[in-house]
Structure 1
Amino acid sequence: MVASIMTDILERADYAVDGPHATLSDGIEALAERMPAGAILDIRLRGGDVGLLADDLELYGIPYLFCSGGFDHPVVRAHRKAPLILKPALERNLISTLEQMLH
């Protein structure tokens, strides 16, 4: 549900969306095949530690942000430079944060 809302928000703002990718392996595969301009990572990504995908994005210099229901998560603490958008404020904050991150 959140993924479809996020996709709608991004498409209304004229961003090209590749995803959502529901699992860690899907996200890593998409990164390897398409090298996106930026990424939005859900803290609760199925199939593994989203921190591994964040590490890969950092390695390639691809900006990313986290989307979560709360602030206190080990992945957020380990990747302090990445912006964090709280799901209740998703629509209000997503586009402005993404624009700052990519420009």
Structure 2
Amino acid sequence: MTDANISDLTVLIVEDEPLIAMSLEDALLDRGVTCLGPAGSVAVALEMIEAGGFDIALLDVNLRGERVDAVADRLAAIGIPFIFTTGHGADGLPDAHRARPVIGKPFRDLDITDALARHRPR
């Protein structure tokens, strides 16, 4: 994949670990991607979803002990694609969204950029 495949994207980052969020943002900004967030809680993520202005989201499955199910449900309801980022594997995904793309933690920058290029909105 090339950087041109994602440089026009705006990505919502839903992640509660500051170092991971900064790493994601740095990797994406280096490739011309606009980043929103990070949203470190379900409540903040839901507020950011309602505000809009993004094309796709990266979702950590667990935000400070709270499952991200409501965030995934809302994104699915409004038709915005999302990719889970998790160290818990498929077993940690919300049941209703087990067919969604997943990037396992720890991940490389290339894993993120390739996944965004593959699952970007058409």
TM-score normalised per structure 1: 0.89
Q: Structure 1: where are the runs of 5+ without partners? A: none
1:47 Cα offset (Å): 6.5
Q: Structure 2: where are the runs of 5+ without partners? A: 1-18
* Counterpart residue number, 1:95: 113
Structural mapping, 1:42-81, within 5 Å: 42-46=60-64, 48-71=66-89, 72-75=91-94, 77-81=95-99
1:92 Cα offset (Å): 2.8
For 2:88, the aligned partner's letter is: G
For 1:31, the aligned partner's letter is: I
Greater share of residues in helix = 1
What is the DSSP-based 3-state SS (H/G/I as helix, E as strand, rest coil) of the residue aligned with 1:82?
coil
What is the DSSP-based 3-state SS (H/G/I as helix, E as strand, rest coil) of the residue aligned with 2:103?
strand
The structure 2 residue matched to 1:19, chosen from 14, 17, 37, is 37
For 1:15, the aligned partner's letter is: V
- Residue 74 and residue 67 in structure 1: after superposition, are their counterparts in 2 closer, same or farther (change >3 A)? closer
- C-alpha distance in 2 between matches for 1:79 and 1:15: 25
TM-score normalised per structure 2: 0.76
- Say whether residues 1:36 and 2:68 are aligned partners: no
Greater share of residues in strand = 2
- C-alpha distance in 1 between matches for 2:118 and 2:53: 19
For 2:83, the aligned partner's letter is: L
For 1:8, the aligned partner's letter is: D
